């Protein structure tokens, strides 16, 4: 379980053929540090990527609650899709996805990354991790990932729109990937996902529109 984040990082790096620039485990913080960093009400209780920019330096920290980590580790040890453990696996994967994509855009593409880009890429990453690492797929997985989507209470209208756009676009692309993988066209599907990973948000959305047409 200590290596959960590192294992997820390795899966994403293998899928997208990324060079490792940072070890995610070095940036993990626990609930106590999280609470001290964000002491106000509304502090995330499950997962958060903290970003602080000061004097042209960017400081990162990844929080994934211990309960989430334990349940996610239990899920990935057997890849049994119980609803409780699946939810934890998705939360953990999302956190690591945010870290990997943020550092990739900053270090290898030398560009800033928006919150909606992080959310959209995480939607796609969650599908690919479960499909490739656990062998799950088909309509049942698409439904579990995208059709049972619920927004947390108290989100701002801007945040709601961001999550909704990411969910819709992620679902459309995951369906295309699922069809390609199901008919045995994994090389094409993965190469397409790698190209998508390296695109800006407008180019990503245009690419997804073409695939979903």
Q: Give the residue from 58, 64, 50 showing the smallest Cα distance to 9.
A: 64
Output the CA torsion sign for 199, 50, 134, 88. negative
pTM here is: 0.93
CA angle in degrees (0–180, nearest 5) for 113-124-38: 50
> Given this model, what pLDDT does residue 53 score?
86
pLDDT bracket for residue 2 (50, 70, 90): low
Burial 62-89 (b: 16+ CB within 10 A, else e): bbbbeebbebbbbbbeeeeeeeebbbbb
pLDDT digits (tens, 9 = 90+) for 24-56: 999 999 988 988 887 665 567 899 999 988 888
Identify whether the C-beta of residue 144 lies closer than 8 Å to the C-beta of residue 86: yes
> Given this model, what pLDDT does residue 63 score?
96
d(CA 15, CA 10): 9
């Amino acid at each position: 379980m200590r290596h959960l984040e590192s294992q997820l990082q390795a899966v994403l790096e293998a899928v997208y053929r990324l060079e490792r620039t940072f070890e995610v485990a070095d940036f993990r913080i626990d609930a106590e540090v999280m609470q001290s960093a964000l002491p106000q009400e509304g502090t995330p209780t499950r997962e958060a990527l903290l970003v602080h920019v000061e004097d042209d330096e960017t400081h990162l920290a990844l929080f994934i609650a211990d309960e989430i980590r334990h349940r996610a580790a239990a899920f990935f040890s057997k890849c049994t899709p119980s609803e409780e453990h699946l939810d934890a696996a998705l939360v953990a994967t999302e956190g690591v996805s945010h870290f990997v994509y943020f550092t990739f855009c900053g270090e290898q593409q030398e560009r800033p990354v928006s919150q909606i880009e992080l959310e959209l890429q995480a939607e796609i990453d969650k599908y690919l991790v479960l499909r490739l690492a656990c062998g799950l797929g088909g309509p049942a997985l698409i439904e579990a990932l995208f059709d049972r989507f619920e927004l947390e209470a108290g989100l701002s209208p801007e945040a709601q729109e961001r999550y909704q756009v990411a969910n819709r676009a992620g679902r459309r692309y995951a369906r295309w990937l699922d069809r390609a993988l199901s008919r045995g066209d994994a090389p094409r599907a993965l190469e397409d996902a790698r190209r998508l990973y390296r695109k800006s948000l407008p180019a990503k959305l245009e690419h997804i529109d073409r695939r979903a047409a």
